[in-house]
Structure formats: C-alpha cells, structure tokens
Amino acid sequence: MPQYTPASRPARPRDAASLLIWRAQAQGLEVLMGRRGSRARFVPGVYVFPGGVLEPRDRMVSARLGAHPFPLSPGLDGNPSLARALACAAVREVHEETGLQLRSSVHSGANGGTDPSTLPDLSALRFLGRAITPTNSRMRFHARFFAAPAASFTGELAGDGELSDLQWVGLDNPARLPMVDVTELMLSELAQQLSGALHQPALLSYSGDKPRVRRFS
C-alpha cells in the first residue's frame, strides 16, 4: 500500500515524469534508484527513480526540439509537444538528482533550420506507463514513466541531494528495498519491455485505496 497522506478533498493531479535508467550486468538487469528523504512531503523514505513535476522550462525545450520525432504511445494523449515536454522533464530531473546527462544531438528547429544549441536526444527513451495518485492524497501526480539505457548517458553519479544512496538495483529488488506499488509495477513493466515481448503501456490508478491496472493497446 503506498504511503500517501489523506486529503479532505481531492487535489488536481500535477503532470510529472520519471526515468528508469537501466544497464545489463552479469547478474541481470539493473536500474538506477535513490532514496527519498525521511522528511519528504511525498512518499518519504522509499526508493524511487529520478523524476519530478513538469515545469514551464521543459515545454520550452520541447518547443526548441521542433518536429524532432519522438515515439508516441497510448497514455501520452497523442500530443507530441506534451510527450516531448514530459520526456524533457524526466531527463532534467535525472541530471539534477543523479548528475547524469543524456547525450545530445542536433535537431531541426520549428522553422526547419537546425538548432546548434545542446538539446537532448530523446530517441533513446521508451514509454513504459503512467500512474495517477489516489484521490485521498494531499499531493497528487499524473506521472509518466520512461526508460533508457545507461549507455545513452554521460557523467558521474552525484546529484542535488534530493535522492540519497544512489545505487543500481536489480529488477527483482534482491535487497528488498522499501518501494511503493507503482515503483514495483514499473520495474516489472521494464522487464517485460526488454524481454522483447509485446508490451502494452500500463495505467495504475485507484478506486479508493484499491489499485487497479489497465492496459492500452
């Protein structure tokens, strides 16, 4: 059961995004995770993927990417600019919270020209699914989850301190680190996607406190 703080009236979910950075090791697939502080306002003390709320600057980066193709999936609302903005939010949060930077490339600008500035190469990202926080939570998010291989990133693990104990975690969570249900679900979704099996993005939502998962074909 997720550690959410009850609310007297439902709050409107805020758009958010997280990124699962994965690597293949001899012992199996691993994902980069960190622990939220014990005083965090939202799900304190658990291990999560880097991520956060969509900010206006993410939409600005999306606009600068112009018509750069990004693979839309069900659950991204069929909106290319929103999909890119959410992906940019996830990439930005990764850099802030882990110190890793997604490799960049030159993209076509909105007017057809090339943009010589450094812009993220979103082609490595794949959409996994989304989750909407229960209505009885004081803080609610409509979170989208993406995945990308570690080889698509550069830099050394550091970060702004929002996440502590940054580490590579096996998909089956062998150390039994404390996690909420959506985190466990997305680890399972990543395993399915990387197995080569047909993957239909998942939506985790709640009826009261009861979680339910739906699929999008």
Q: Is residue 96 part of a domain?
A: yes
Q: Is residue 8 part of a domain?
A: no
pLDDT at 115: 53
pTM exceeding the 0.85 threshold for the entire prediction: yes
Q: Is residue 9 part of a domain?
A: no
Q: Containing domain of residue 109, as a range?
A: 14-215
Nearest to 130 by CA among 171, 185, 180: 185
pLDDT at 217: 59
pLDDT at 1: 42
Domain CATH for 30: 3.90.79.10
Burial class (CB in 10 A: 0-12, 13-18, 19+), 43: buried
Q: Is residue 125 part of a domain?
A: yes
pLDDT by 10s per residue, the chain, length 217: 445 555 456 788 999 999 999 999 999 999 999 999 888 888 889 999 999 999 999 999 988 887 666 665 555 666 788 888 999 999 999 999 999 999 886 555 555 555 546 788 888 999 999 999 988 888 899 999 999 999 999 999 988 888 999 999 999 999 999 999 999 999 999 999 999 888 888 899 998 788 999 987 5
CB 150 within 8 A of CB 31: no
Q: Is residue 129 part of a domain?
A: yes
Q: Is residue 4 part of a domain?
A: no
Q: Is residue 31 part of a domain?
A: yes
Q: Is residue 5 part of a domain?
A: no
126-132 and 210-215 beta bridge pairing: unpaired
14-25 and 141-149 beta bridge pairing: parallel
Q: Distance of CA 155 to CAs 7, 21, 89, 95, 159, Å? A: 40, 13, 18, 9, 11
Number of domains in the chain: 1
Q: How far apart are the C-alpha atoms of 18 and 20, rounded to whole Å? A: 7
